[in-house]
């Protein structure tokens, strides 16, 4: 009968299709004819294939690259990488960029243990002497890339951005302070006085009470800066754990302590007086910048941000971008004075080799990484050729850190040039390297911006917390069995802490009400806080 034939054909067709799909699942042996299949993001300034640094490296190390690229769009780049892994269609090597998409620690561990990522430590020992040296110089680096089983499955980029290590800075309008005859505040109460003056005493002199004393944006937590006067506030961002600290080797939640509550009370008092802009928790960077750039005259008194050009445009016609200076962390009622510190250790993995690569390819790739951590390789790979992207320092040039010998001067960034791998090659961005670049001495010009940030950061340095209270979230390795549950707990708790914090500070929840605070604590318990802390404790203990 015809219909059974049709049915039969359809069935066979389906089976054939499924078999094909199945066959695609098992990764085939290396059949890329000696080409090094490399995965990495590609910009619009030209292809990685045509990039002149690629060509140099191909010649130098006898590599023939076959590029699998993504765009710099982080969310989709991540999907592409994961899909390529899932389908068994993955490359020989990964050269990733941290702020686009890179291997998370749970991925590194998972793929390493499954055998997808191959261990690198022997290769490093034998073929990467410079990298070994660097590892010795920065033991934190080596520690962070070594998995609990002793293997190194992926290498992270080492970036010691000095000013990034204190991400929550308060930038205050110095001109306004001068106009009102005030000094930069040093304590929490002095801040209140200054903010009140900003609000009431018309520092911009236009006769209208349009000043916004203190603001921020949803992506730059104001709480971190102000909380430092009460207790230590670790750096938090989407995807990072909720604030946790160490106390005598025990992991504790920072956001449930009485000191934390006192801090929230203080911040809430600023908000209810109109001194802290409640919109700071909801507005985006554009809105904050609109405050800073306000066409009708300066209205922003101060803001918490990584750097001022986030909220005010560089080289403003009325020069207002020069008005903002950093205020050192404030001292609280009991003298606590801490600055939020961010570790230079990046938990992600950028360079990795897969089991699809041949021994020969692995050696060449490791040698390439080794080259990138030398001064020459770093400059050439990350910036570009000498004379085009940078020139050697001349006599009379001053390094960013004046105490260091200046080494090179970066030239104006040309976005059309395709001569360097840029972020893809920045594996050795150490403090000494960064601070020895030549930077103009005029701190208030856009060119001298790095120097301005350095000087601002130096004010925060003395208030670095003692290392013993820092919870090393970036160094922990997740446990494959518990990582799924940990992810759930962490997301729930971090979400709740962020939300409750914003609600307490803006007055949607009453911080002064003991009942409300108790409800908050018991909610956290309900979300599995004690279980979460125990899991983190176990991971921390496993580090030793």
Hey, which residues between 220 and 239 contact other proteins (CB under 8 A)? Answer: 238-239
CB 90 within 8 A of CB 39: yes
CB 423 within 8 A of CB 382: yes
CB 289 within 8 A of CB 313: yes
By CB under 8 A, residue 23 contacts other proteins? yes
Report the Cα 342 to chain-centroid distance in Å. 9
By CB under 8 A, residue 104 contacts other proteins? yes
Q: Single out the residue of 106, 179, 256, 537 in contact with other proteins (rule: CB under 8 A).
A: 106
Closer residue to other proteins (CB): 182 or 275: 275
What is the rounded CA–CA span in Å between residue 382 and residue 384?
6
Looking at 111-119, 121-129, 359-367, 510-518, which segment touches other proteins (CB under 8 A)? 111-119
By CB under 8 A, residue 385 contacts other proteins? no
Q: Single out the residue of 146, 269, 313, 358 in contact with other proteins (rule: CB under 8 A).
A: 313
Helix axes 514-526 and 529-543, enclosed angle (nearest 10): 60
Identify which of 234, 286, 305, 301 has the alpha carbon closest to the alpha carbon of residue 456: 305
By CB under 8 A, residue 126 contacts other proteins? no
Q: How far is the CB of 354 from other proteins (least distance, A)?
A: 10
Binding mask 249-278 for other proteins (x = CB under 8 A): -----------------------------x
Q: How far is the CB of 239 from other proteins (least distance, A)?
A: 4
Burial class (CB in 10 A: 0-12, 13-18, 19+), 528: middle
Q: Determine the straight-line distance between the first and last CA of the chain, rounded to whole angstroms.
A: 73
Q: How far is the CB of 18 from other proteins (least distance, A)?
A: 6
Q: Single out the residue of 12, 14, 542, 543 in contact with other proteins (rule: CB under 8 A).
A: 14
Q: How far is the CB of 541 from other proteins (least distance, A)?
A: 20
Taken in order 55, 56, 59, 63, the sign of the CA dihedral is negative
What is the rounded CA–CA span in Å between residue 376 and residue 388?
14
Tokens of 35: 């080409």
Looking at 74-82, 119-127, 170-178, 263-271, which segment touches other proteins (CB under 8 A)? 74-82
Restricting to residues 281-300, name those near other proteins by CB under 8 A.
281-284, 286-287, 289-291, 293-295
What is the rounded CA–CA span in Å between residue 69 and residue 73?
11
Binding mask 401-430 for other proteins (x = CB under 8 A): ---------x--x-x------xx--x----
> Could you tell me the CA-to-CA distances from 475 to 144, 148, 151, 471, 541 in Å, in that order?
5, 11, 15, 9, 12
Restricting to residues 479-538, name those near other proteins by CB under 8 A.
483-488, 490-492, 495, 498-499, 501-503, 506, 508, 526-528
Restricting to residues 148-167, name those near other proteins by CB under 8 A.
159, 163
Q: How far is the CB of 425 from other proteins (least distance, A)?
A: 10
What is the rounded CA–CA span in Å between residue 161 and residue 163?
6
Q: How far is the CB of 157 from other proteins (least distance, A)?
A: 8
By CB under 8 A, residue 52 contacts other proteins? no
Tell me the β-bridge partners of 65.
36
By CB under 8 A, residue 86 contacts other proteins? yes
What is the rounded CA–CA span in Å between residue 209 and residue 301?
12
Looking at 95-103, 171-179, 225-233, 462-470, which segment touches other proteins (CB under 8 A)? 95-103
| Non-local CB neighbours of 43 within 8 Å, separated by 6+ positions | 72, 422
């Amino acid at each position: 009968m015809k219909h059974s034939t049709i049915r039969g054909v359809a069935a066979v067709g389906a089976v054939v299709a499924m078999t094909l799909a199945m066959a695609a699942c098992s990764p085939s042996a290396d059949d890329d004819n000696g080409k090094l299949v490399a995965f990495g993001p590609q910009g619009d300034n030209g292809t990685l294939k045509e990039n002149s640094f690629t060509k140099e490296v191909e010649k130098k190390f006898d590599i023939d690259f076959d590029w699998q690229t993504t765009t710099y769009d982080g969310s989709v780049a991540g999907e592409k990488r994961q899909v390529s892994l899932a389908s068994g269609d993955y490359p020989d090597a990964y050269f990733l960029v941290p702020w686009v998409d890179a291997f998370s620690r749970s991925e590194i561990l998972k793929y390493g243990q499954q055998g997808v990522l191959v261990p690198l430590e022997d290769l490093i020992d034998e073929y990467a002497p410079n990298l070994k040296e660097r590892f010795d110089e920065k033991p934190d680096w080596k520690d962070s890339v070594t998995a609990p089983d002793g293997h190194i499955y992926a290498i992270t980029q080492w970036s010691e951005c000095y000013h990034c290590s204190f991400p929550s800075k308060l930038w205050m309008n110095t001109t306004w302070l001068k106009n009102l005859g005030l000094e930069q505040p040093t304590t929490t109460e002095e801040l209140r006085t200054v903010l009140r003056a900003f609000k009431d005493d018309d520092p911009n002199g236009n006769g209208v009470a349009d000043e916004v004393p203190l603001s921020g944006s949803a992506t730059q937590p104001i709480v971190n800066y102000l909380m430092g006067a009460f207790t230590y506030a670790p750096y938090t961002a989407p995807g990072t754990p909720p604030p946790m600290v160490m106390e005598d080797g025990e992991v504790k939640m920072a956001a449930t302590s009485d000191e934390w509550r006192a801090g929230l009370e203080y911040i809430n008092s600023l908000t209810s007086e109109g001194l802290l802009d409640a919109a700071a928790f909801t507005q985006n960077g554009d809105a904050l910048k609109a405050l800073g750039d306000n066409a009708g005259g300066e209205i922003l008194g101060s803001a918490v941000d990584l750097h001022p050009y986030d909220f005010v445009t560089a080289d403003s016609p009325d020069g207002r971008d020069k008005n903002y200076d950093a205020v050192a962390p404030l001292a609280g009622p009991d003298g606590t004075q801490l600055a939020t510190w961010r570790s230079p250790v990046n938990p992600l993995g950028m360079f990795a080799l897969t089991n699809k690569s041949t021994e020969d390819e692995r050696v060449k790739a490791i040698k390439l990484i080794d080259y990138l951590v030398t001064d020459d390789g770093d400059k050439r790979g990350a910036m570009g050729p000498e004379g085009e992207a940078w020139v050697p320092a001349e006599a009379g040039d001053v390094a960013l850190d004046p105490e260091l010998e200046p080494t090179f001067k970066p030239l104006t960034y040309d976005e059309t040039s395709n001569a360097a791998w840029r972020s893809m090659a920045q594996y050795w961005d150490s403090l000494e390297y960064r601070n020895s670049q030549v930077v103009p001495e005029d701190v208030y010009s856009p060119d001298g911006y790095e120097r301005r940030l350095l000087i601002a950061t130096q004010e925060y340095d003395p208030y670095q917390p003692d290392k013993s209270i820092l919870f090393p979230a970036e160094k922990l390795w997740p446990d494959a069995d518990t990582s799924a549950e940990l992810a759930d707990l962490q997301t729930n708790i971090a979400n709740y802490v962020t939300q409750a914090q914003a609600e307490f500070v803006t007055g949607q929840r009453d911080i002064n009400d003991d009942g409300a605070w108790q409800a908050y604590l018991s909610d956290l318990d309900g979300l599995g806080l004690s279980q979460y802390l125990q899991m983190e404790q176990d991971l921390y203990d496993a580090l030793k």
